[in-house]
């Protein structure tokens, strides 16, 4: 009489395979999410650095204008002083 194979209610190899598959899918999903988030943060930081650099250049330009204006003011004061004398 042939022996019949009766599947057990809980096949541990299937459970292990399913758990490993689920862990793998979850791991890759987390990796993709972290990579995307890192790329977004890097993009935002690059934008902030660009903005700060532009602000620095604007401030340096204003400083140069102020220095030039102070020099011009000193010349005008000198000329006014000479004219008064």
Please state whether the predicted TM-score (pTM) of the whole model is above 0.75: no
Expressed in angstroms, the distance from the first to the final Cα of the chain is 134
- How large is the average pLDDT for residues 3-23? 78
pLDDT at 2 over 70: no
Please give the pLDDT value at position 9.
61
Please give the pLDDT value at position 39.
84
- State the pLDDT confidence band at 8, using cuts at 50, 70 and 90: low
DSSP 6-67: ---SS-HHHHHHHHHHHHHHHHHHHHHHHHHHHHHHHHHHHHHHHHHHHHHHHHHHHHHHHH
């Amino acid at each position: 009489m042939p022996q019949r194979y009766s599947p057990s209610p809980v096949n541990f190899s299937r459970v292990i395979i399913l758990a490993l598959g689920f862990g793998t899918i979850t791991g890759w999903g987390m990796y993709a999410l972290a990579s995307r988030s890192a790329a977004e943060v890097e993009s935002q930081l690059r934008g902030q650095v660009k903005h700060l650099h532009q602000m620095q250049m604007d401030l340096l330009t204003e400083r140069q204008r102020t220095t030039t204006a102070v020099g011009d003011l000193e010349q005008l004061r000198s000329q006014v002083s000479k004219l008064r004398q």
